């Protein structure tokens, strides 16, 4: 049931005034929280593919008489469609806004703790506007500020080339991975401005789902290499994803860039200035259409040596990242759903044959890894055991293992190597709430994204009474304590091989991870091959 929305004027001191809304329960008339939608965290870049600009110290959202209107939503970066996610074509490349939920009442002495959430969507689609945190604050007493930023996606956020390197150098900006830089700007905006909403900038937990969780790993790895007085992240939630391999080299990104030029009939013989001028003059919808028509149409992060260091996976292998996380006492909550692969199998599925599966995996992973994967899963060119076809069962299984099951266990293994075992809170969800049926077919089981209704207390849908008590004790109360920085959150696990599991009947057990050994076997096999074609990676 949609809450009532009453205007709420908020003074942000030197930032002026904003007009948000107070969300109120229609049945009880009890206020849930204050909501500010489409709140700007950065100014647009001077040109497409450049870095967004910090808000200047003098920036004001509005005056008391003419406050900034923040009762709506963020801009939506142009993006391909996905089943069950209808965004229309109301796109804007100016998507540098966030949605913010603030508890009602007086904040505690040090301010409300803060949860920054990065939405998923393979880094190709998605928006924070499909998430609703009002009931989590209003009914479940979460008592924390929640910030959800939008960021650039796909070809708009992750294009990289030598031409863009030249362009960035002219304005002394970083090149590529602009979607990650957008997320970082949102984190910095949160640190610098959240106290104006009653928040505590010293208690920020970063969280993300799917590609948002993937983003959390890279935001965390960037943050822990900064001087401690510049770091922002105190805790992290990595929900249903994990890092897989060293992101592609600039040379691979250049090949994709050149293919995009060809798809748009832009001559390769032009100067870098003219190439970019033509690319920047193309309407977003046409650029998106050309980008999604390419054989390798997934635009993903590049090893740029600034945000993503070339040895980041070596730092996992030798325990350096784990040691840095342990030294800063950063707790990490991470886990999975039982049937992740059912939804994953719907994202650009291959044709029903061996070669099509191979080509599809190349859209996401380096050739040496795909070669190894096919040998591990499809020996002698045969379907994996128990799979009926290549385009659904086999693809869904391999993709889910790579995105979640195997690689997240590899991440845990590496963090433990660095002495961070005591900071890990692992989970597994095998229960599906009834409201998940509104968007995800029941026959898909407890698949990827069904748990959004757990973490977000129905995410705008109505929970049944028995579901509320079940998920509150299973996850919401421990998550609340986690975000608030409490030392004992009642998780129940005693080692990194144990997971807090919500069983299909709604009960909670501490489960000895039955997928561990096979996952680490695959992780080690992938870590032993050269990702960029430059020889072997340091073995575990």
- Which of the residues are catalytic? 210
Taking residue 498's Cβ as centre, other Cβ atoms within 10 Å add up to 16
Given a contact cutoff of 8 angstroms between Cβ atoms, the answer to whether 154 and 294 are in contact is: no
Q: What angle do CA 294, 300, 303 make, to 5 degrees?
A: 125
Please give the radius of gyration of the chain, using alpha carbons only, rounded to the nearest integer: 23
- Residue-wise burial string across 20-43, b where 16 or more C-beta atoms lie within 10 A, e elsewhere: bbbbbbeeeeebbbbbbbbbbbbe
Task: Report d(CA 420, CA 424) in Å as an integer.
Answer: 7
- Write a three-state SS string for 419-468: CCHHHEEEEEECCCCHHHHHCCCHHHCCECCCCHHHHCCCCCCCCCHHHH
91 touches 180 (CB < 8 A): no
Task: Please state at what angle helix 406-417 crosses helix 320-327, rounded to 10 degrees.
Answer: 70
Contact predicate 520/413, CB 8 Å? yes
- Cα(52)–Cα(150) distance, rounded to whole angstroms? 12
Other C-beta atoms lying within 10 Å of the C-beta of residue 535: 9
Which residue's entry shows tokens 């692969």? 341
Bridge partners, residue 147, by sequence = 100, 116
CA 428 to CA 459: how far, in whole Å? Answer: 20
E strand or H helix at 154 = helix 154-158
CA distance 296 to 348: 11
> Which residue, among 433, 427, 437, has the nearest Cα to 470 in the 3D structure?
433
CA-to-CA distance for 201 and 342, rounded, in angstroms? 38
Distance between start and end Cα atoms, the chain: 51
């Amino acid at each position: 049931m949609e809450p009532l929305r009453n205007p709420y004027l908020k003074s942000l001191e030197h930032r002026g005034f904003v007009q948000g809304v107070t969300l109120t329960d229609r049945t009880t008339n009890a206020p849930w929280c204050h909501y500010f939608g489409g709140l700007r965290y950065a100014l647009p870049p001077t040109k497409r593919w450049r870095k967004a600009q910090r808000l200047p110290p003098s920036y004001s959202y509005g005056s008391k008489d003419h406050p900034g209107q923040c009762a709506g939503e963020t801009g939506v970066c142009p993006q391909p469609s996905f089943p069950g996610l209808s965004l229309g074509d109301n796109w804007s490349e100016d998507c540098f806004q966030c949605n913010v939920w603030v508890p009602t009442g007086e904040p505690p002495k040090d301010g409300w703790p803060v949860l920054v959430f990065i939405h998923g969507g393979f880094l190709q689609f998605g928006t924070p506007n499909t998430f609703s945190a009002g009931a989590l604050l209003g009914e479940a007493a979460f008592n924390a500020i929640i910030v959800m930023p939008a960021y650039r996606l796909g070809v708009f956020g992750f294009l990289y080339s030598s031409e863009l390197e030249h362009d960035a150098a002219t304005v002394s900006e970083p090149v590529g991975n602009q979607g990650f830089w957008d997320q970082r700007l949102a984190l910095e905006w949160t640190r610098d401005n959240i106290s104006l909403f009653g928040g505590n900038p010293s208690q920020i937990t970063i969280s993300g789902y799917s590609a948002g969780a993937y983003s959390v790993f890279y935001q965390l790895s960037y943050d822990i290499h900064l001087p401690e007085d510049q770091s922002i992240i105190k805790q992290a939630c990595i929900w249903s994803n994990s890092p897989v391999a060293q992101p592609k080299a600039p040379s691979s990104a250049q090949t994709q860039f050149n293919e995009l030029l060809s798809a748009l009939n832009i001559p390769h013989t032009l100067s870098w200035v003219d190439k970019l001028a033509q690319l920047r003059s193309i309407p977003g919808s046409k650029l998106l259409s050309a980008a999604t028509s390419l054989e390798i149409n997934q635009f993903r992060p590049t090893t740029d040596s600034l945000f993503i260091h070339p040895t980041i996976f070596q730092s996992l292998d030798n325990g350096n990242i784990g040691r840095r996380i342990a030294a800063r006492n950063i707790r990490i909550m991470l886990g999975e759903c039982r049937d992740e692969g059912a939804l994953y199998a719907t994202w650009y599925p291959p044709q029903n044959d061996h070669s099509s599966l191979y080509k599809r995996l190349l859209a996401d992973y380096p050739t040496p890894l795909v070669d190894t994967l096919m040998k591990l899963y499809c020996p002698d060119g045969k379907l994996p055991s128990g799979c009926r076809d290549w385009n659904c069962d086999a693809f869904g299984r391999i993709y889910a293992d790579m995105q979640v099951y195997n690689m997240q266990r590899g991440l845990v293994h590496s963090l433990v190597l660095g002495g961070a075992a005591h900071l890990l809170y692992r989970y597994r969800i095998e229960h599906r709430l009834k409201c998940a049926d509104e968007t995800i077919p029941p026959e898909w089981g407890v698949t990827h994204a069904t748990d959004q209704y757990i973490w977000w207390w129905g995410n705008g849908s109505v929970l049944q009474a028995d579901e509320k008590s079940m998920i509150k004790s299973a996850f919401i109360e421990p998550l609340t304590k986690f975000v608030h920085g409490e030392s004992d959150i009642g998780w129940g696990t005693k080692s990194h091989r144990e997971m807090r599991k919500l069983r299909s009947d709604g009960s909670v057990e501490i489960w000895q991870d039955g997928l561990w050994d096979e996952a680490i076997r695959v992780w080690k096999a992938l870590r032993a091959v050269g990702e960029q074609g430059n020889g072997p990676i340091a073995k575990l």
